Amino acid sequence: MDADIIVVGSGPAGVSVSYPLVEAGLKVLMLDSGRNFQPKTSHIPYIERRANDCGQHKWILGENFYSLKNSKLASPKMRVPNYEDVFKLNSIEDNLITENFYVTTSKALGGLSNAWGCGVAMLSREEFSSYPFHYDEILESYEAVSRRIGISGAINDDMSNYFLLDQYSQLPIALGEMQKKIYEKYISYKLKINKNGMRIGRSRVAAISSPLSESRSECNSCGNCLWGCSRRSLYSAAYDLENLIKFPNFRLLSHSNVKSVISQEKFSEVQGVGISGEFRYKSLRVVLAAGTLSSTKIMLNSVENKVQRVSLKTSPSAGYLLWLPKFFGRSRSSEFSLGQLSFVQSLSDEIGHGFGSLFSIDSIPVIEFMRAIPFSSRNGLSFLAPLLSSCLVGNLFFPGKYSENLMEFTVDGALKIIGNYTKNFQLEADITEKKLRKNFFKMGAILLPGSFRLGQPGADIHYASTMPMKKNPRGLQVDKFGASLQLNRTHIVDGSVLPELSEKSHTLTIMANADRIGRYLSSNFK
């Protein structure tokens, strides 16, 4: 036996399930297809680097023009050369075909958490109604994970009851002047804005405002969030890996691409390809935490009764530009570039919500916005460059119920993902845009015409719910501990087991659920 438990995947779910197992003394072997990721970072504030660094093209474009060669990737951070390994999809190697679906996978230890937006939220008791276990069963895990990764944003505001995280959070990171103004205006016109279905408050993010450990310092608002944080203020699962490998009963093997799991009578066998060729490792249990797409693929490869097609949920997303005329002529400054303010906006059914955050654009290259406006390049630059210093960029996530994506195996064994939104989604998005426009206008911000753009299905990278947890699971569905019906001794703990996908950031829930299952496995290990 190579280990008591094999964990596949080193991202947020993988490290979260591993902690309770390792702490209980179980021998854990973690396999990940990624390699060690060491971002090049700088402690010099972004604006200073832009003004004075003669070699800035190396970190903005990449030595081999990585940024230019990948101009079609979904968001600016995916084009950052530092994250070349983090957002890496090799369609041929991964044997993946897509149709109207944006897909990315990671080839770095720690997975996509090396460059995520750090958005975190707890699900409410009501949102847990579709889960096959009691809400109280996950609270302990929510707390453990929140305290481990470090969350900031705790303040008594209108979003406290939405995020539900204030009891485990540090104080918020300083607001930039424009977002401060928006918030002040919100307070002034709160009743009217609330009546129009919007609430605003500080973002709760996995970025720390006070030191968390010797290796992680508080955010100093240097504006390098997008390019690589030198202070390690932004959480990454790679930091947890550094702690996990200190345990003698934990072993990590990188460059190990797991293909399938074979369930034998008394043990399970994990098969795959590593640097030195094919490998097979045996363990008493296997935990799949490779991310929704990879775990689903491994499961589809492993089960005997071939399931040809599964549904895949994503949170449809949109991006837009807000202009604050009052700040026209403002000088750019270095500030925290992830979500500072967050909001919920009621949707047309008055039950669901859209969730969004506002970001400073001070550390985003102008060229990213030029791609989106219908101007010729020179005029676009002349028009946008002075305007952008008084703009903010916003995002908006819709509940997963508006997505209708499918994953299926083709005849030649490739995995095909077909992306789609529901028929009523476009109308819902149009109505929500109007609501946002009206509400932001009250707060002194103009949602620039034509800037509200819906992302391609999958561009949100919130892939989930392919093998949901159910009370009475069928087919590829799993039970409340992520245990597969079709593959003995195999548990799934990543986004693929979420029964529903709300508009909220789902990473913290995935981590808490993985921690919960890890606790269960460690105390019931056979």
Partner 1 sequence: MSDCKFILPDDIEVVIHLAAKNQESLEKEDEEIIGFRRLVDECNRVGALIIYVSSQTVLGPLISKYAKSKATFENIVISSNGIVLRLGQVYGGIEKGLFGSIVNFLKISPVMPQFFPSPQIQPVHVDDVVSALLFLSAQKSTGLYQLANPIPISFNKFLKLIKNHRVGEFRIILPILTVFLTYPFSLFKSNSNINNIGIRFKTLVSLPYMKPSAIFIKKNFLVRTLEDGMSKTGSAKLRRLIYEGSLIGKYLLCSDPSIGIIKRYVRYQVVSNKFALINRSYILWKFPALLGPYQAILSGKEGREFRHKIESMGAIAEASIDTYHRYIPDCSGYKIILCVLKMLLALISEFIIKTISAFKLLMSYCKFGR
Q: Is 437 in the site for partner 1 (CB under 8 A)?
A: no
Structure tokens at 467: 């093998």
Buried b (16+ CB within 10 A) or exposed e, 189-209: eeeebeeebbbbbbbbbbbbb
| Smallest separation (angstroms) from partner 1 to the CB of 183 | 24
Task: Tell me: does residue 120 bind partner 1 (CB under 8 A).
Answer: no
Residue 387 CB, nearest approach to partner 1 (Å): 7
Helix (H, G, I), strand (E, B) or coil at 347: coil
Nearer to partner 1, 58 or 280 (CB): 58
Write down the least CB distance from residue 371 to partner 1, Å: 7
Q: How far is the CB of 40 from partner 1 (least distance, A)?
A: 15
The verdict on 40 binding partner 1 (CB under 8 A) reads no
The verdict on 57 binding partner 1 (CB under 8 A) reads yes
Name the residue among 524, 24, 484 with its Cα closest to residue 287. Answer: 484
Check residue 367 for interaction with partner 1 (CB under 8 A): yes
Closer residue to partner 1 (CB): 255 or 332: 332
377 binds partner 1 (CB under 8 A): yes
Query: Within 10 Å of residue 10's Cβ, how many Cβ atoms?
Result: 30
Three-state DSSP at 290 gives coil
**Residue in 139, 387, 414, 485 binding partner 1, rule: CB under 8 A:** 387
Asked if 48 touches partner 1 (CB under 8 A), the answer is no
| Terminal CA-CA length for the chain | 14
Nearest of 33, 506, 2, 515 to residue 272 by alpha carbon: 33
Locate 12 and state its tokens.
């947020």
Of 243, 260, 389, 488, the one binding partner 1 by CB under 8 A: 389
Task: Tell whether residue 378 is a contact of partner 1 (CB under 8 A).
Answer: yes
Query: Least distance to partner 1 from the beta carbon of 53, Å?
Result: 7
Q: Should residue 71 be labelled a site residue for partner 1 when binding is judged by CB under 8 A?
A: yes
CA distance 524 to 426: 47
Among the listed ranges 61-69, 303-311, 460-468, 492-500, the one in contact with partner 1 (CB under 8 A) is 61-69
Q: What number of helices (H) and strands (E) belong to the chain?
A: 14, 18
Q: How far apart are CA 504 and CA 237, in angstroms?
A: 20
Q: Which of 10, 16, 18, 67 binds partner 1 (CB under 8 A)?
A: 67
Burial class (CB in 10 A: 0-12, 13-18, 19+), 54: exposed
Contact at 8 Å (CB) between 96 and 103? yes
Nearer to partner 1, 97 or 387 (CB): 387
- Closest CB 389 distance from partner 1, rounded Å: 7
285-344: which residues touch partner 1 (CB under 8 A)?
328-332
Measure the CA–CA gap between 267 and 265, rounded to whole angstroms: 6
Find the binder of partner 1 among 375, 430, 434, 453 (CB under 8 A). 375
How deeply is 368 buried, as exposed, middle or buried, from its count of CB atoms within 10 A (0-12, 13-18, 19+)? middle
Instruction: Decide: 391 and 366 in contact? Cβ < 8 Å.
Output: no
* 310 close to 171: Cβ distance less than 8 angstroms: no
For residue 63, the minimal CB distance to partner 1 (Å) is: 10
Alpha helices in 389-491, H assignment, sequence order: 425-442
Instruction: Return the SS3 of 97.
Output: strand
Among 43, 325, 383, 426, binds partner 1 (CB under 8 A): 383
Cβ nearer to partner 1, comparing 155 with 446: 446
> Minimal distance in Å, beta carbon 359 to partner 1?
17
Three-state DSSP class for residue 65: coil
Judged by CB under 8 A, the residue of 97, 307, 381, 446 near partner 1 is: 381
Q: Show the CA angle centred on residue 293, arms to residues 526 and 368, nearest 5°.
A: 140
**65 forms part of the interface with partner 1 (CB under 8 A):** yes
| Minimum gap (Å) between residue 374 Cβ and partner 1 | 9
Q: Which is nearer to partner 1, 132 or 365 (CB)?
A: 365
Binding residue for partner 1, selected from 25, 325, 386, 450, defined by CB under 8 A? 386
Q: In the complex, which residues of this chain contact partner 1 (CB under 8 A)?
A: 47, 50-54, 56-57, 60-61, 64-65, 67-69, 71, 328-332, 365-367, 370-371, 375-383, 385-387, 389
